[in-house]
Amino acid sequence: MASRTGSMTGVTGGGAAALAIMLATATGLVLGASQPAQAQDLCSRYTIVRGDTLSQVARIAGVEGGFQVLFNANTDILRSPNLVEIGQVITIPCADGSLPGAAVAAPAVAPPPPVTATRPLRVITASGYAPFTDKDLPGGGMFTQLVLRAFALGNPDQEVNFFFVNDWNAQLDNLLPSGAVDMAFPWFKPDCDRVEILSPPNAYRCTDFNHSDPFYDALVGYYTLAGSPYDGATDHADLLGARICRPDAWFTFDMEAEGLTEPQVTMVRVTQLECWRQLDAGDVDIVTYDALPAEDDARTLGMAERVVSLDALTATATLHVFVAKSNAEANAALPALNAGLEQLRLTGEWFSIVRAGIQAAIEN
Protein backbone atom coordinates (compact mmCIF):
# COMPACT_ATOMS: atom_id res chain seq x y z
CA MET A 1 0.00 0.00 0.00
CA ALA A 2 1.42 3.35 -0.98
CA SER A 3 1.19 5.74 1.93
CA ARG A 4 1.54 8.91 -0.09
CA THR A 5 1.98 10.23 -3.59
CA GLY A 6 5.06 12.26 -2.71
CA SER A 7 5.26 16.02 -2.71
CA MET A 8 2.62 18.19 -4.33
CA THR A 9 5.14 19.44 -6.91
CA GLY A 10 2.91 18.05 -9.66
CA VAL A 11 0.04 20.40 -8.86
CA THR A 12 1.93 23.64 -9.30
CA GLY A 13 1.12 25.90 -12.28
CA GLY A 14 2.05 25.44 -15.91
CA GLY A 15 -1.28 25.14 -17.68
CA ALA A 16 -2.16 21.91 -19.43
CA ALA A 17 1.23 20.36 -18.61
CA ALA A 18 0.66 20.92 -14.92
CA LEU A 19 -2.79 19.38 -15.17
CA ALA A 20 -1.33 16.30 -16.84
CA ILE A 21 1.32 15.96 -14.14
CA MET A 22 -1.22 16.34 -11.37
CA LEU A 23 -3.50 13.73 -12.87
CA ALA A 24 -0.63 11.32 -13.45
CA THR A 25 0.44 11.47 -9.79
CA ALA A 26 -3.02 11.64 -8.28
CA THR A 27 -4.33 9.22 -5.67
CA GLY A 28 -5.06 5.53 -6.21
CA LEU A 29 -4.01 2.41 -4.34
CA VAL A 30 -2.08 -0.02 -6.51
CA LEU A 31 -3.44 -3.55 -6.63
CA GLY A 32 -0.25 -5.58 -6.55
CA ALA A 33 2.84 -4.78 -8.57
CA SER A 34 2.64 -1.80 -10.88
CA GLN A 35 1.78 -2.78 -14.45
CA PRO A 36 0.75 -0.68 -17.46
CA ALA A 37 -3.00 -0.29 -17.60
CA GLN A 38 -4.70 -1.95 -20.57
CA ALA A 39 -5.82 0.18 -23.49
CA GLN A 40 -8.67 2.46 -22.51
CA ASP A 41 -10.78 4.71 -24.69
CA LEU A 42 -13.14 7.58 -24.11
CA CYS A 43 -16.84 6.79 -24.28
CA SER A 44 -16.44 3.17 -23.22
CA ARG A 45 -16.55 0.82 -20.25
CA TYR A 46 -13.36 -0.59 -18.82
CA THR A 47 -12.65 -3.55 -16.54
CA ILE A 48 -10.11 -2.89 -13.78
CA VAL A 49 -7.06 -5.19 -13.87
CA ARG A 50 -4.18 -5.74 -11.47
CA GLY A 51 -1.93 -2.68 -11.25
CA ASP A 52 -4.58 -0.14 -12.26
CA THR A 53 -5.19 3.11 -10.44
CA LEU A 54 -7.98 5.54 -11.21
CA SER A 55 -5.48 8.23 -12.18
CA GLN A 56 -3.75 5.83 -14.59
CA VAL A 57 -6.99 4.97 -16.33
CA ALA A 58 -7.99 8.64 -16.58
CA ARG A 59 -4.59 9.64 -17.96
CA ILE A 60 -4.35 6.86 -20.56
CA ALA A 61 -7.95 7.33 -21.71
CA GLY A 62 -7.48 11.11 -21.91
CA VAL A 63 -10.28 12.05 -19.52
CA GLU A 64 -10.28 15.84 -19.20
CA GLY A 65 -10.43 16.66 -15.50
CA GLY A 66 -8.62 13.43 -14.68
CA PHE A 67 -9.31 11.03 -11.86
CA GLN A 68 -11.75 13.42 -10.13
CA VAL A 69 -14.09 13.50 -13.14
CA LEU A 70 -13.68 9.77 -13.72
CA PHE A 71 -14.51 9.06 -10.08
CA ASN A 72 -17.62 11.23 -10.24
CA ALA A 73 -18.78 9.26 -13.27
CA ASN A 74 -18.62 6.05 -11.21
CA THR A 75 -19.79 6.88 -7.70
CA ASP A 76 -22.39 4.14 -8.01
CA ILE A 77 -19.52 1.62 -8.17
CA LEU A 78 -16.50 3.18 -6.46
CA ARG A 79 -16.46 3.88 -2.73
CA SER A 80 -13.25 5.88 -2.86
CA PRO A 81 -10.95 7.24 -5.57
CA ASN A 82 -8.13 5.54 -3.67
CA LEU A 83 -9.53 2.03 -4.03
CA VAL A 84 -10.33 0.21 -7.25
CA GLU A 85 -10.85 -3.54 -7.28
CA ILE A 86 -9.93 -6.10 -9.91
CA GLY A 87 -12.96 -6.92 -12.04
CA GLN A 88 -14.85 -3.66 -11.44
CA VAL A 89 -16.32 -2.28 -14.66
CA ILE A 90 -16.15 1.50 -14.77
CA THR A 91 -17.59 3.98 -17.25
CA ILE A 92 -15.24 6.32 -19.11
CA PRO A 93 -17.01 9.54 -20.20
CA CYS A 94 -17.19 10.56 -23.84
CA ALA A 95 -15.17 13.48 -25.23
CA ASP A 96 -18.19 15.78 -24.83
CA GLY A 97 -18.61 14.73 -21.19
CA SER A 98 -21.67 12.54 -21.74
CA LEU A 99 -21.78 8.93 -20.62
CA PRO A 100 -21.85 6.05 -23.13
CA GLY A 101 -25.34 4.66 -23.58
CA ALA A 102 -26.87 7.48 -21.54
CA ALA A 103 -29.57 8.43 -24.01
CA VAL A 104 -32.79 9.18 -22.18
CA ALA A 105 -35.61 6.81 -23.09
CA ALA A 106 -39.08 8.28 -23.37
CA PRO A 107 -40.95 7.55 -20.13
CA ALA A 108 -43.97 5.30 -20.34
CA VAL A 109 -45.91 7.87 -18.32
CA ALA A 110 -45.17 11.57 -18.58
CA PRO A 111 -43.86 12.98 -15.27
CA PRO A 112 -46.04 15.48 -13.46
CA PRO A 113 -45.28 19.14 -14.23
CA PRO A 114 -42.75 20.70 -11.86
CA VAL A 115 -44.04 22.74 -8.97
CA THR A 116 -43.36 26.45 -9.37
CA ALA A 117 -43.15 28.52 -6.19
CA THR A 118 -45.61 31.39 -5.84
CA ARG A 119 -42.68 33.81 -5.58
CA PRO A 120 -39.04 33.95 -6.70
CA LEU A 121 -36.82 31.60 -4.71
CA ARG A 122 -33.98 33.25 -2.77
CA VAL A 123 -30.87 31.11 -3.28
CA ILE A 124 -27.49 31.89 -1.68
CA THR A 125 -23.90 30.78 -1.59
CA ALA A 126 -20.65 32.48 -0.53
CA SER A 127 -17.28 33.39 -1.98
CA GLY A 128 -13.93 31.93 -1.02
CA TYR A 129 -14.55 28.32 -2.01
CA ALA A 130 -12.78 28.03 -5.36
CA PRO A 131 -13.33 26.36 -7.73
CA PHE A 132 -16.85 25.67 -6.44
CA THR A 133 -18.19 29.11 -5.50
CA ASP A 134 -16.72 32.59 -5.72
CA LYS A 135 -18.19 35.76 -7.15
CA ASP A 136 -14.95 36.45 -9.04
CA LEU A 137 -14.95 33.08 -10.83
CA PRO A 138 -16.65 32.60 -14.22
CA GLY A 139 -20.33 31.97 -13.60
CA GLY A 140 -19.76 32.27 -9.84
CA GLY A 141 -17.82 28.99 -9.75
CA MET A 142 -18.56 25.53 -11.10
CA PHE A 143 -21.03 24.57 -8.36
CA THR A 144 -22.98 27.80 -8.88
CA GLN A 145 -23.14 27.04 -12.60
CA LEU A 146 -24.43 23.53 -11.89
CA VAL A 147 -27.18 24.76 -9.57
CA LEU A 148 -28.43 27.53 -11.86
CA ARG A 149 -28.41 25.22 -14.89
CA ALA A 150 -30.27 22.55 -12.92
CA PHE A 151 -32.97 25.09 -12.08
CA ALA A 152 -33.19 26.13 -15.74
CA LEU A 153 -33.50 22.54 -16.96
CA GLY A 154 -35.74 21.26 -14.20
CA ASN A 155 -38.24 24.10 -14.24
CA PRO A 156 -37.54 27.02 -16.61
CA ASP A 157 -40.62 28.81 -15.24
CA GLN A 158 -39.15 29.04 -11.74
CA GLU A 159 -37.73 32.49 -11.05
CA VAL A 160 -34.58 32.45 -8.91
CA ASN A 161 -32.93 35.39 -7.17
CA PHE A 162 -29.32 34.44 -6.49
CA PHE A 163 -26.99 36.10 -3.97
CA PHE A 164 -23.53 35.76 -2.43
CA VAL A 165 -23.76 36.02 1.37
CA ASN A 166 -20.24 35.72 2.74
CA ASP A 167 -21.05 34.30 6.15
CA TRP A 168 -21.11 30.53 5.93
CA ASN A 169 -22.19 29.97 9.52
CA ALA A 170 -25.15 32.34 9.20
CA GLN A 171 -26.54 30.38 6.27
CA LEU A 172 -27.52 27.33 8.33
CA ASP A 173 -27.72 29.01 11.74
CA ASN A 174 -30.03 31.88 10.82
CA LEU A 175 -30.86 32.58 7.20
CA LEU A 176 -32.39 29.23 6.19
CA PRO A 177 -34.22 28.50 9.49
CA SER A 178 -35.73 32.00 9.60
CA GLY A 179 -36.97 31.84 6.01
CA ALA A 180 -34.88 34.84 5.02
CA VAL A 181 -33.57 32.67 2.19
CA ASP A 182 -34.92 29.47 0.65
CA MET A 183 -31.88 27.47 -0.43
CA ALA A 184 -28.15 27.51 0.31
CA PHE A 185 -25.21 25.72 -1.27
CA PRO A 186 -22.80 24.00 -1.35
CA TRP A 187 -23.11 22.13 1.93
CA PHE A 188 -21.76 18.74 2.93
CA LYS A 189 -24.31 16.23 4.15
CA PRO A 190 -23.51 13.65 6.86
CA ASP A 191 -24.79 10.09 6.80
CA CYS A 192 -28.26 10.90 8.11
CA ASP A 193 -28.97 7.20 8.64
CA ARG A 194 -26.45 7.37 11.51
CA VAL A 195 -27.48 10.67 13.01
CA GLU A 196 -27.26 9.19 16.51
CA ILE A 197 -23.45 9.13 16.33
CA LEU A 198 -23.19 12.80 15.36
CA SER A 199 -22.58 15.70 17.73
CA PRO A 200 -25.36 18.32 17.84
CA PRO A 201 -23.51 20.82 15.56
CA ASN A 202 -23.36 18.11 12.87
CA ALA A 203 -26.63 16.29 13.57
CA TYR A 204 -28.69 19.39 12.83
CA ARG A 205 -27.68 19.15 9.18
CA CYS A 206 -29.95 16.08 9.18
CA THR A 207 -32.62 17.02 11.71
CA ASP A 208 -33.31 20.58 10.53
CA PHE A 209 -32.73 20.44 6.78
CA ASN A 210 -33.69 18.55 3.64
CA HIS A 211 -31.21 18.15 0.84
CA SER A 212 -30.98 18.00 -2.91
CA ASP A 213 -29.50 15.00 -4.61
CA PRO A 214 -25.68 15.14 -4.47
CA PHE A 215 -24.27 17.59 -7.00
CA TYR A 216 -20.65 16.62 -6.43
CA ASP A 217 -18.56 13.99 -4.64
CA ALA A 218 -15.66 15.90 -3.12
CA LEU A 219 -12.38 14.39 -1.98
CA VAL A 220 -11.47 15.21 1.62
CA GLY A 221 -7.70 15.14 1.97
CA TYR A 222 -5.24 14.91 4.85
CA TYR A 223 -1.87 16.67 4.53
CA THR A 224 1.34 16.93 6.51
CA LEU A 225 4.89 18.17 5.96
CA ALA A 226 7.32 15.81 4.27
CA GLY A 227 9.33 13.99 6.91
CA SER A 228 6.93 14.71 9.77
CA PRO A 229 6.09 11.92 12.26
CA TYR A 230 2.78 11.49 10.41
CA ASP A 231 4.27 11.24 6.93
CA GLY A 232 3.26 7.77 5.74
CA ALA A 233 0.15 7.38 7.93
CA THR A 234 -2.13 4.72 6.47
CA ASP A 235 -4.96 4.68 9.00
CA HIS A 236 -6.89 7.38 10.85
CA ALA A 237 -5.75 5.74 14.10
CA ASP A 238 -2.20 6.77 13.13
CA LEU A 239 -3.25 10.38 13.74
CA LEU A 240 -4.27 9.91 17.37
CA GLY A 241 -2.40 12.47 19.46
CA ALA A 242 -1.88 14.79 16.49
CA ARG A 243 -2.70 18.48 16.30
CA ILE A 244 -5.19 18.63 13.43
CA CYS A 245 -6.37 21.79 11.68
CA ARG A 246 -9.81 21.60 10.06
CA PRO A 247 -10.79 25.13 8.92
CA ASP A 248 -13.48 26.99 10.81
CA ALA A 249 -17.03 26.49 9.43
CA TRP A 250 -16.01 23.21 7.81
CA PHE A 251 -17.81 20.03 8.86
CA THR A 252 -16.26 17.53 11.27
CA PHE A 253 -18.73 14.64 11.04
CA ASP A 254 -16.25 12.54 9.05
CA MET A 255 -13.63 12.99 11.77
CA GLU A 256 -16.16 12.04 14.45
CA ALA A 257 -16.82 8.78 12.61
CA GLU A 258 -13.09 7.99 12.69
CA GLY A 259 -12.61 8.87 16.37
CA LEU A 260 -10.57 11.99 15.60
CA THR A 261 -12.14 14.15 18.31
CA GLU A 262 -10.97 15.82 21.51
CA PRO A 263 -9.16 14.61 23.60
CA GLN A 264 -7.87 11.90 21.22
CA VAL A 265 -6.54 14.70 19.01
CA THR A 266 -6.06 18.43 19.44
CA MET A 267 -8.46 20.25 17.13
CA VAL A 268 -7.51 23.65 15.70
CA ARG A 269 -10.20 25.73 13.98
CA VAL A 270 -8.87 28.74 12.04
CA THR A 271 -9.12 29.96 8.44
CA GLN A 272 -7.97 27.77 5.56
CA LEU A 273 -4.78 29.72 4.89
CA GLU A 274 -4.02 29.99 8.61
CA CYS A 275 -4.16 26.18 8.83
CA TRP A 276 -1.33 25.99 6.31
CA ARG A 277 0.65 28.74 8.01
CA GLN A 278 0.41 26.89 11.31
CA LEU A 279 1.50 23.67 9.62
CA ASP A 280 4.49 25.51 8.15
CA ALA A 281 5.36 26.94 11.58
CA GLY A 282 5.09 23.56 13.29
CA ASP A 283 2.06 24.59 15.37
CA VAL A 284 -0.13 21.84 13.88
CA ASP A 285 0.72 18.43 12.46
CA ILE A 286 -2.10 17.83 9.98
CA VAL A 287 -4.27 19.97 7.70
CA THR A 288 -7.48 18.41 6.42
CA TYR A 289 -10.33 19.63 4.21
CA ASP A 290 -11.63 19.43 0.65
CA ALA A 291 -8.69 18.46 -1.57
CA LEU A 292 -9.30 20.91 -4.44
CA PRO A 293 -9.24 24.13 -2.39
CA ALA A 294 -6.71 22.65 0.04
CA GLU A 295 -4.12 21.97 -2.64
CA ASP A 296 -4.84 25.32 -4.27
CA ASP A 297 -4.22 27.04 -0.91
CA ALA A 298 -0.93 25.15 -0.47
CA ARG A 299 0.20 26.32 -3.89
CA THR A 300 -0.85 29.88 -3.12
CA LEU A 301 1.41 29.91 -0.04
CA GLY A 302 4.32 28.29 -1.90
CA MET A 303 4.19 25.15 0.26
CA ALA A 304 3.30 22.57 -2.38
CA GLU A 305 6.77 21.06 -2.67
CA ARG A 306 7.03 20.49 1.09
CA VAL A 307 3.59 18.99 1.62
CA VAL A 308 2.58 15.36 1.23
CA SER A 309 -0.91 14.00 0.83
CA LEU A 310 -1.82 11.06 3.07
CA ASP A 311 -3.65 9.31 0.26
CA ALA A 312 -4.74 6.28 2.28
CA LEU A 313 -6.85 8.59 4.44
CA THR A 314 -8.55 10.43 1.57
CA ALA A 315 -12.33 10.04 1.74
CA THR A 316 -15.36 11.39 -0.09
CA ALA A 317 -18.21 13.62 1.02
CA THR A 318 -21.18 14.78 -1.02
CA LEU A 319 -22.11 18.41 -1.66
CA HIS A 320 -25.78 19.43 -1.78
CA VAL A 321 -28.26 22.27 -1.83
CA PHE A 322 -29.87 22.60 1.62
CA VAL A 323 -33.39 23.78 2.46
CA ALA A 324 -35.01 24.18 5.87
CA LYS A 325 -37.59 21.50 6.59
CA SER A 326 -40.00 24.24 7.64
CA ASN A 327 -39.87 25.97 4.22
CA ALA A 328 -42.75 24.43 2.26
CA GLU A 329 -42.16 26.27 -1.03
CA ALA A 330 -38.45 25.47 -1.12
CA ASN A 331 -39.13 21.80 -0.39
CA ALA A 332 -41.75 21.67 -3.14
CA ALA A 333 -39.16 23.00 -5.60
CA LEU A 334 -36.52 20.39 -4.75
CA PRO A 335 -37.83 17.68 -7.15
CA ALA A 336 -37.47 20.03 -10.11
CA LEU A 337 -33.93 20.91 -9.06
CA ASN A 338 -33.09 17.19 -8.82
CA ALA A 339 -34.65 16.54 -12.22
CA GLY A 340 -32.50 19.28 -13.72
CA LEU A 341 -29.40 17.78 -12.12
CA GLU A 342 -30.23 14.40 -13.66
CA GLN A 343 -30.50 16.04 -17.09
CA LEU A 344 -27.13 17.71 -16.57
CA ARG A 345 -25.52 14.34 -15.92
CA LEU A 346 -27.24 12.48 -18.76
CA THR A 347 -26.38 15.06 -21.41
CA GLY A 348 -22.76 15.45 -20.31
CA GLU A 349 -23.11 19.12 -19.43
CA TRP A 350 -22.32 18.29 -15.78
CA PHE A 351 -18.95 16.83 -16.81
CA SER A 352 -18.17 19.77 -19.09
CA ILE A 353 -18.77 22.28 -16.29
CA VAL A 354 -16.84 20.27 -13.71
CA ARG A 355 -13.78 19.51 -15.82
CA ALA A 356 -13.55 23.17 -16.91
CA GLY A 357 -13.71 24.25 -13.26
CA ILE A 358 -11.04 21.76 -12.18
CA GLN A 359 -8.74 22.61 -15.05
CA ALA A 360 -9.07 26.35 -14.37
CA ALA A 361 -8.23 25.75 -10.71
CA ILE A 362 -5.05 23.86 -11.63
CA GLU A 363 -3.93 26.33 -14.27
CA ASN A 364 -4.51 29.39 -12.11
pTM: 0.72
User: pLDDT tens digits for 118-177?
Assistant: 999 999 999 989 899 999 999 999 999 999 999 999 999 999 999 999 999 899 999 999
Average pLDDT of the segment spanning 319-325: 97
19 with 67: CB under 8 angstroms? no
Give 277: exposed, middle or buried? Use CB within 10 Å, 0-12, 13-18, 19+.
middle
C-alpha span between 311 and 248 (Å, rounded): 23
User: pLDDT tens digits for 180-214?
Assistant: 999 999 999 999 988 888 889 899 999 999 999 99
Task: Tell me what pLDDT residue 320 has.
Answer: 97
C-alpha span between 285 and 17 (Å, rounded): 31
Task: Tell me what pLDDT residue 108 has.
Answer: 57
Average pLDDT of the segment spanning 336-355: 90
User: pLDDT tens digits for 48-60?
Assistant: 998 888 888 988 9
Cα angle for residues 115, 120, 121 (degrees, 5° grid): 75
341 with 212: CB under 8 angstroms? yes
Task: Tell me what pLDDT residue 110 has.
Answer: 63
Task: Tell me what pLDDT residue 74 has.
Answer: 86
Task: Tell me what pLDDT residue 335 has.
Answer: 95
What is the SS3 assignment for 211?
strand
pLDDT band at 18, cuts 50/70/90? very low
129 with 141: CB under 8 angstroms? yes
Average pLDDT of the segment spanning 109-117: 78
Q: Does the pLDDT at position 288 exceed 50?
A: yes
C-alpha span between 197 and 214 (Å, rounded): 22
**Percent over 70 (pLDDT), the chain:** 85
Higher pLDDT, 229 or 31: 229
Task: Tell me what pLDDT residue 347 has.
Answer: 84
User: Which of 354, 352, 338 has its CA nearest to residue 154?
Assistant: 338
Average pLDDT of the segment spanning 9-21: 32
C-alpha span between 250 and 272 (Å, rounded): 10
Q: Does the pLDDT at position 106 exceed 60?
A: no
